[in-house]
């Protein structure tokens, strides 16, 4: 199946620019281009998993890695509290079908 790459895959592959604030072997973190809070980051796995419904047991390390990264990112941004959001599926508000975690803080 030949699917078109998501905008996040294009960012990971450096095909389009983004404000990258963190990158490691498992994920990339960018500033959201349409922020809903003073700090609005997107934590994106490098593996293109469309939705939470598509997660498999082999993805637990990626998801755990991203969850453990969230407090480090918040602290680096000067936040002492934050909220997270993962939209899943079209009816769940997901616009880009490549799992990502929103980190929001004021």
The pLDDT tens digits for 31-76 are 999 999 999 999 999 999 999 999 999 999 999 999 999 999 999 9
Average confidence score pLDDT of the chain: 96
Residues 6+ apart with CB under 8 A from 36: 102, 104
Q: Tokens 């973190």 appear where?
A: 29
CATH architecture for residues 7-105:
2-Layer Sandwich (3.30)
The angle formed by the CA atoms of residues 53, 59 and 63, to the nearest 5 degrees, is 90
Q: Model-level pTM? A: 0.94
- Confidence class for position 3, pLDDT limits 50, 70, 90: low
Of 22, 40, 98, 100, the active-site residue reads 100
Q: Please confirm, yes or no, whether 100 is among the known catalytic residues.
A: yes
Residues 6+ apart with CB under 8 A from 57: none
């Amino acid at each position: 199946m030949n699917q078109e790459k998501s905008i996040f895959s294009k960012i990971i592959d450096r095909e389009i620019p983004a404000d990258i604030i963190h990158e490691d072997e498992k994920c990339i973190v960018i500033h959201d281009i349409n922020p809903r809070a003073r700090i609005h980051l997107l934590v994106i796995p490098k593996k293109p998993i469309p939705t939470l419904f598509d997660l498999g047991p082999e993805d637990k390390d990626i998801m755990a890695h991203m969850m453990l990264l969230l407090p480090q990112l918040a602290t680096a941004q000067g936040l002492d509290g934050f909220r997270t959001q993962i939209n899943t599926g079209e009816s769940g508000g997901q616009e880009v079908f490549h799992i990502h975690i929103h980190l929001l803080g004021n």
